[in-house]
Amino acid sequence: MRVLMLGANHRTADLAVRERLAVADERQAQLLAHLRGAWPAAEAVVLSTCNRMELYLARPATQPPSADELRAAVAAFCELDPAQLLAATIHRENEQAVAHLFRVCAGLESMVLGEPQILGQVRRAYEHAHRHEAVGPVLHKVFQTALATGKQVRHETGIDAGRTSIGSIAADFARNIFDTFDDKTVLGIGAGEMAKVALRHFNELKPHAMWIINRTRSRGESVAQALALDGPRRGVRSYDDLDTLLIEADIVITSTGAPHAIITAERFRTLVRRRRGRPLFVIDLAIPRDVEPAVGALSNVYLYNLDDLQQVVEQTHTARCEIAARCEGRLADAVRRCMAEIQHRDLGRLIRELRGKLFELGEAEQARTLRKLQHADGDGQAQALEEYTHRLIHKILHLPLSQIDAQNPDAPLAFYSAALRRLFQLEPEEADEAADAPDAPEAERAANGSPDKPITPNNAPRTPRTPNDLSESSLRR
């Protein structure tokens, strides 16, 4: 099985592209169904957060999709130009794909190094795919190991200690703008994990008032309860009060899962005069964005989105580079162990398939030979048994030898040659003998010659050699 990762994040794609790629739970289910419909043998997990959208696939080595086919499928699903998606995405395969997921779980790929929320987001993405029966044994192993390793590395290195979330960075950003908060009203729009974390940090600034609104009031009340917003000028307000609260607020933090902007320039323009020139600080943490960019052009409105926070984030990265380096070593060991287990499982399945195929060949030839033996005398029986041996060997050799074609420039002849010698414990040939070796089709014809002609060391098929024969150490890789 091969593991593939195709994704876009805050480093590879701007906010406008990430908005188009964002897939909420319902669309995640649709995308999983789309991928599984196109490639039934593949396993798949879709990870979509405010700063990344990544697809993880495991599929048989000889089957689609390729990275280009996967990218085309995503472009069609998200209604994006494939050329635009090519420039905005990265793809990794096998060990590199697994290593990328491990880094994501450890917080090393986050905008804020060590961000703790990503671990829960990866777990929910994995569980979501599992519920939709899109995960098989390979991705089960990869994701379970990545989640366990990410948690362990965080505990051992402390990379997620301190202010490591987008919410904490947003609060720091606000500190650079306002001197005091005891006269400020904070409005939180949304009740997801990102909004909850951000509001927790703003609550620590002890603002004059803090309100939460959400389309589902009960979810807003759960956030308010978790933040202990039960005093005067604190709590949950009706979503119908949004315009009133936009007039009252000095700081707005919004992070909903709405598929379109909920605060438009047209809507807010009617409220500006009623604010009497008071400045409004808006932090939009949503993907897709909750606030139209044109709102930031209105008088006394200061709008910041996820990309605008990048400058503040860089300051935290410098201080955590040493911790990140310690994480890398631990992750590398865990990735190697995980890949070894996946490959061991694949090898076991391969051996079972090979054994079954050879038994089928043997049983077919055995049945043929038994029919001949019923009517054969002593000499005929010996000839039938010799023919049985030759035919069985020829059939076993046919498939591997048919893949060794000296006339095919793309055939990895040196690898095949070294592999055959190592697997069948053959003595290395002298260089001058290799020069006289027949090409592979001739070798196969020799192997599939008359059943009456026994195979001997003098007429056994030789695999072609080139000066670039691989060493045994290369096979071990």
The phi-psi region of residue 235 (left if phi > 0; otherwise alpha if psi is between -120 and 50; otherwise beta) is left
Catalytically active residues are 50
Q: Strand 280-284: give its sheet, edge to edge.
A: 234-236, 209-213, 185-189, 251-254, 280-284, 301-305
Residue of 1, 16, 155, 186 lying closest to 85 (CA atoms)? 16
**Rg (alpha carbons) of the chain, rounded to whole number:** 32
Contacts of 160 (CB under 8 A, 6+ apart): 107, 114, 115, 116, 154
Cβ–Cβ < 8 Å for 154, 146: no
Scanning 286-436, the segments in alpha helix (DSSP H) are 310-373, 378-402, 413-423, 431-435
CB 33, CB 121: distance < 8 Å: no
Residues 197 and 260 sit within 8 Å (Cβ to Cβ): no
Q: Give the integer Cα–Cα distance in Å for 386 and 455.
A: 11
CB atoms within 10 A of CB 320: 22
CA distance 449 to 399: 15
The order of strands in the sheet holding 52-59 is 43-48, 52-59, 2-9, 90-93
